[in-house]
Structure 1
Amino acid sequence: MRTIKFLLQKEFRQIFRNRAILAMVMVMPVMQLLILPLASNYEVKNVNIAVIDNDHSSYSQKLISKITASGYFKLTGYDFSFKEAFKLIESDKADLILEIPHGFERNLVREDEQKLFIAVNAINGTKANLGGVYLTGIIKNFNADVRVQLVQPGKFNQQPTITIASSNWFNPYLNYHVFMVPGILAILVTMIGGFLTALNIVKEKEVGTIEQINVTPIKKHHFILGKLIPFWILGNIVFTLGLIVSWLIYGITPLGNILLLYAFIAVYLLAISGFGLLISTFCDTQQQAMFVMFFFMMVFILMGGLFTSIDSMPDWAKFVTKFNPVAYLIDVMRMIILKGSGFKDIAKQLGTIGLFAVVLNSWAIINYKKTS
């Protein structure tokens, strides 16, 4: 313990001497947590729509007014030909084209049916899909309103109807920040715990102090623990700052046991810090360590379930995510913070991360080559 104490004193002195690390740990995560949730929003609004109204009737005007009043669409063109409207799509000024045919109101009243033409710019598949769904839903609601107006009382026998009352659990107001903030906080904790430890041993190699350490009687596991513990503590500090920002700015408070959340974070930081130290033992320069860690971080983040649901991934990707520690952290963060899950609910994830911590840190200790 005395050896580890001296190593920790050395590491903390190096950390406090480096103001860039302190700024990275204290300021950058807070700024990112303030900015990223505001930008990371999958709700599509302000979809540009061009309308070709060949009817110019009261019904067509009501439909256009209903579309623009929905809050999802912005009317960028009101043209009289499809050719002119299509130029707006080619210049990326319109995402959808709605063409209302001539005789729209007459056919709807007399024939009880009328077709509309919708053209969607599908370069951005997400925006095209959601924009088309929004527009179709608005048209269906408009059609239902028209049918209510046209049906004469007593003309048809009353039919039994089904009424649906929906209840949104865990996020009743469908606020996207509530869903994204825990995931983004998980990424920030991973970046601090992974990147800083990955650069640690390599820095000793670059400045030449690793040779002095190698000739000392310090054992390999003491050296690895001395490198791991400081950034484990810093990771917990970053996580605490993130929880405070989430509470003050977004009003998010954990519904579950906060001690259970900290217990999982403690084990997770051991795993991700061990992974960073393992990378550091393979690399000779900080540049090499940064590139290797950046490669793995990109895979961890993009396949961690933050931006894309793991359930929608192909089978091979689902198998890969079983070895992705970030996926477990994002899942547990949302379970405890949003759903109030208990120990039994996260026991499987906790056991897996604990196994990662043992394997990665043991591998780092074995791979660190110390010459006496």
Structure 2
Amino acid sequence: MLKFLIEKEFKQIVRNAFLPRMIIMMPVMMMLVLPWAANQEVKDVRLSIVDNDHSVYSERLVNKIISSGYFKLTDVSASNPEAMRSIESGKADIILEIQDEFEKSLINEGAARVMISANSVNSTEGGLGLSYLSAILADYATELREEQGGQAVVTAVEVPSFGVMSQYKFNPHLDYKVFMVPALMVTLLTMLCGFLPALNIVGEKEAGTIEQINVTPVKKLVFVLAKLIPYWVIGFAVLTVAIGLGALVYGIYPVGNLLTIFLFATIYILVVSGMGLVISNYSDTMQQAMFVMFFFMMILLLMSGLFTPTTSMPEWAKTITVFNPLKYFIQVMRLVYLKGSTFFEMIPQFLALCGFALALNTWAVMSYRKSQ
């Protein structure tokens, strides 16, 4: 009986004019477009310069900032109030004001001051722009010390100078795509293997074919399994395509064992498919199922650690993330891809996903009402 029900599900998917195209195009588009869009690197920060010195040293500092690749000179003002107007009009994001007698102070006193004013409406851009600019100023001061053998310091505030040697583990080039691509694979599985089962039973309710199933001796468990298995197969195929695109397009390969990813994916697909079936059981129309699924999907994605770490959330939000299956699989994907973690190092995530799979699929079986 199960075999024929699964065959029916695959035939329904193939006969649908839209689903096969979406199953193929969605992983391709997400893997080719989103890694470039879902990027928190800040570049081309619009810079306004107020140079009160007009010396060789100040010109050299400005050139060094522009050549860094992080800043784009969009405004040169004669005074700070004039530069502030460029920020208010949206022409600039950050102001660097160089003091009078900048060069003279460096040569005679070994120290000079500059003022940085950052637009923090976008706190991420303002904070990172300030950080980049401070690092360039520190590097400029180091260059002057090496050239002159003196103690030249260029800083917004006079502080002791020291050197820092940075070593970046697991992502040495700080490429944000290495961090995002594994998480986007989880998002892809969640969207496909969550939304499609959520619309499946509701679609049969609207078409009236569910009544034919209800008068058969098919047990509820067999019926739910017949709904889960096709999307389990589709999820594996989509994940394989996504891993292949990640390797071919971005050169991102898992450091750990690929079989570990598929083992966790086996459980995770059952989790999101079970959640979709639960929503489908309680929905009467496809529109209702889509809205409910979209509501939960937004919360799960935003509180999964996809963009921001869950450890930086307030305590009440951390408690909510404990019940978010996306968080655990995103952790698994990043651990395997970046650190090469083994299965035994991720047993807590495995047990959590197994618990979600058991609970949601049991709920799906119990909530399916065979007599409609």
Shorter-chain TM-score tier: over 0.9
Decide whether the 8 Å contact of 1:109 with 1:150 is kept in 2.
no
- Distance, in Å, in 1 between the alignment partners of 2:2 and 2:142 is 73
Structure 1 segment 222-371 matched on structure 2, within 5 A: 222-371=222-371
User: Residue 89 of structure 1 aligns with which residue?
Assistant: 87
Q: What amino acid sits opposite 2:340 in the alignment?
A: G
Check conservation: 1:193, 1:272, Cα contact below 8 A.
yes
Q: CA deviation at 1:31?
A: 1.4
Encode CA deviations 1:255-301: one digit per residue, 9 max, x unaligned: 21111211110011111100110011111000000000001111111
User: How much has 1:364 moved relative to structure 2?
Assistant: 0.9
Deviations 1:168-226 (A, max 9, x none): 33222222211111010110011111000101111111111112211111111111111
Equivalence for 1:67 = 65
- Distance in 1 between the 2:117 and 2:168 partners? 33
Distance 1:137 1:351 in 2: 44
Query: TM-score, normalized by length of structure 1?
Result: 0.94
The residue identity in structure 1 corresponding to 2:293 is M
1:131-210 → structure 2 map (5 Å cutoff)? 131-151=129-149, 165-210=165-210
Greater displacement, 325-334 / 251-260: 251-260
Query: CA shift at 1:149, angstroms?
Result: 3.9
Query: Which piece of structure 1 moves more, 166-175 or 302-311?
Result: 166-175
Most deviating of 338-347 and 104-113: 104-113
Q: What residue in structure 2 maps to residue 123 of structure 1?
A: 121
1:83: how far off?
A: 2.6
Structure 1 unpaired stretches of 5+: 154-160
Root-mean-square deviation over aligned CA pairs: 1.7
Partners of 1:71 and 1:297 lie apart in 2 by 37
- Cα distance, 1:109 vs structure 2: 2.3
CA distance in 2, matches of 1:130, 1:38: 19
Q: Which moved more, 1:251-260 or 1:321-330?
A: 251-260
Structure 1 Cα separation of the partners of residues 169 and 150 of structure 2? 40
**Contact 1:257–1:340, Cα closer than 8 Å, also in 2:** yes
Q: What is the distance in 2 between the residues matched to 1:114 and 1:253?
A: 47
Q: How far 1:162 moved relative to its partner?
A: 8.5
Return the alpha-carbon distance in structure 2 between the equivalents of residues 174 and 100 of structure 1: 31
| Partner Cα distance (2:332, 2:239) in 1 | 14
Helix, strand or coil for the counterpart of 1:247? helix
Helix, strand or coil at the partner of 1:172:
coil
- Secondary structure of the residue aligned to 1:114 is strand
**Offset at 1:115?**
2.2
Q: Which is worse superposed, 295-304 or 114-123?
A: 114-123
Distance, in Å, in 2 between the alignment partners of 1:312 and 1:285 is 39
Q: Alpha-carbon deviation of 1:87?
A: 2.0
Q: What code does the residue aligned with 2:108 have?
A: R
Could you tell me the TM-score, scaled by structure 2's length? Answer: 0.94
Q: Counterpart amino acid of 2:237?
A: I
Distance in 1 of aligned mates of 2:323 and 2:273:
16
State the aligned residue count.
363
- For residues 128-181 of structure 1, the C-alpha deviation after alignment (integer angstroms, 9 at most, x for no partner) is 00000111111122222233444469xxxxxxx987654433222222211111
Cα displacement string for residues 100-138 of structure 1 (whole angstroms, at most 9, x for unaligned residues):
121111223223333212111111100000000111111
**Percent same amino acid among aligned pairs?**
50
Range 185-194 or range 212-221, more displaced: 212-221
For residue 262 of structure 1, what is the amino acid of its counterpart? F
C-alpha displacement of 1:44: 0.7
Give the Cα separation in 2 of the matches to 1:31 and 1:198: 22
Aligned amino acid, residue 346 of structure 1: M
2:110–2:150 contact (8 Å) kept in structure 1: no
How far apart in 2 are the matches of 1:327 and 1:358? Answer: 17
Query: Partners in 1 of 2:282 and 2:212 — Cα distance?
Result: 19
Following the alignment from structure 1 to structure 2, what is the Cα–Cα distance between the partners of residues 116 and 166? 26
The residue that corresponds to 1:156 in the other structure is: none
Q: Secondary structure at the match of 1:206?
A: helix
Distance 2:171 2:24 in 1: 29
Corresponding residue for residue 7 of structure 2: 9
For residue 108 of structure 1, what is the aligned residue in structure 2? 106
SS of 1:180's equivalent in the other structure is helix
For residues 105 and 338 of structure 1, what CA distance do their matches in structure 2 show? 46
- Per-residue deviation, residues 49-77 of structure 1 (Å, max 9, x unmatched): 00011111111111111111111111111
1:22 pairs with 20, 26, 49, which one? 20
The worse-fitting range, judged by mean Cα deviation, of 141-150 and 266-275 is 141-150
In structure 1, the residue corresponding to 2:112 is in which secondary structure?
coil
How many angstroms apart in 2 are the aligned matches of 1:253 and 1:145?
A: 38
Distance 1:203 1:40 in 2: 33
Q: Which moved more, 1:351-360 or 1:137-146?
A: 137-146
Q: CA deviation at 1:348?
A: 1.0
> Structure 2 CA distance, aligned partners of 1:145 and 1:259?
50
